[in-house]
A = this chain, B = another copy of it.
């Protein structure tokens, strides 16, 4: 995984949240605040895409090529669960 890139994005999200805290402290308009928090959710999705790409090309591919069927089942069930949870957030 390109750790440096993922970390840079996470730090930028951290700064974005501090920006929202200031908006709340300074009584900004509710709708403007919510638009910022939705932008943060979007930024988190992009980090997840990066991590997931790495996961699919790395761990998942290795596990699926492994001899142990329990290992293959594990990564597939993990992916399905992730898909399902992510879908709801």
Contact = CB atoms under 8 A, between A and B. Distances in A.
Interface in A34-61: 34-35, 37-38, 40-42, 44-45, 47-49, 51-61
Interface string A1-37: 1010011001101100110110011010111011101
Given A54-B30, A89-B38, A10 B20 contact: yes
Q: How large is the interface on A (under 10, 10 to 19, 20 to 34, 35 or more residues)?
A: 35 or more
B47 A37 contact: yes
Interface of A: 1, 3, 6-7, 10-11, 13-14, 17-18, 20-21, 24-25, 27, 29-31, 33-35, 37-38, 40-42, 44-45, 47-49, 51-61, 64-65, 72, 76, 78-80, 82-89
